Amino acid sequence: MFEIGLIHDHPLIEWAVSQALAEAPDMRVHLLRADRAAPSAQGGLPDRLDVLVMDGPPGRSPLTEAAATRASCVLLMDPSDPGGAGPSSADRLPERSDPVALAAAVRAAASRSRGVPQPREPLADGPPLSAREEQVLHMLAQGLTHDQTARRLGISRHTVDTYVKRVRGKLGLGNKAELVRAAMAYGRDPRRGA
C-alpha cells in the first residue's frame, strides 16, 4: 500500500484529488491540513509518505516542511496551466489533470520512491512513433482525455483510440497507467528536445 500525503489550500481541489487517488486500491490518502495537524500536533503525521502531493513549496509552513521531510517524493500541483495543456514533469502536475493521469503519475512516483522496477523507457528500442502518434502521446502526457485530444486535433475519438493502440503496441504497454507513465516520460525524453 502506497502512503500518499495531500496538502492543498483549495478545499474543492483537495477533495477532488483525494477522491481520484482514493479510488486506487493500492493508495492510502492522508489529508494534511494546518487546521487538522497544527505544528504542535505533527505527531499526527504519518511516519513515512511515499509521495506528498501539494500546491506549493514545502518550506511555506511548519506543516508542509514536516510533511516533506517524511516524504520520499514531492509532487507539486501546477495551477499556472488552467487548461491542463502544459507539460507534466517528474515533480509537477497540471492542477486540472485527468483523474486517471493523476493517479498514474502519483503511482509512478510512489513506485520510483520504493525502487519498484519501471517498464523500459519509451523509444529505448523498437519502431519510432509517427508524428501523429507523438502528438497524441504528448496530449496524453498533458493530462487530456481521448475526447479532448480528438477535439484539439480535429479527428474522431475512434482515430485517437487507433493511435493509442499503435503506441501501446510499439512501446510494449499494457494498461492505461503504463500508457500515461510512458506518455509523461516520453514528453521529457531528451532525444526529442523536450
The residue with greater pLDDT, 180 or 18, is 18
**Structural domain boundaries of the chain?**
2-114, 131-192
Choose the weakest-confidence range: 19-33, 45-59, 105-119, 131-145.
105-119
- pLDDT at residue 34, rounded to an integer: 58
Q: Which CATH class is domain 131-192?
A: mainly alpha
Q: What is the pLDDT of residues 181-190, one digit of tens each?
A: 777 666 544 3
- pLDDT at residue 156, rounded to an integer: 94
- pLDDT at residue 35, rounded to an integer: 57
Fold (topology level) of 2-114: Rossmann fold (3.40.50)
| Mean pLDDT on 175-185 | 72
Does the structure show a pLDDT above 50 at 191? Answer: no
Long-range (24+ apart) CB contacts under 8 A made by 26-30 are 26/1, 26/2, 26/107, 27/1, 27/2, 27/103, 27/106, 27/107, 27/110, 28/1, 28/2, 28/3, 28/4, 29/4, 30/3, 30/4, 30/5, 30/6
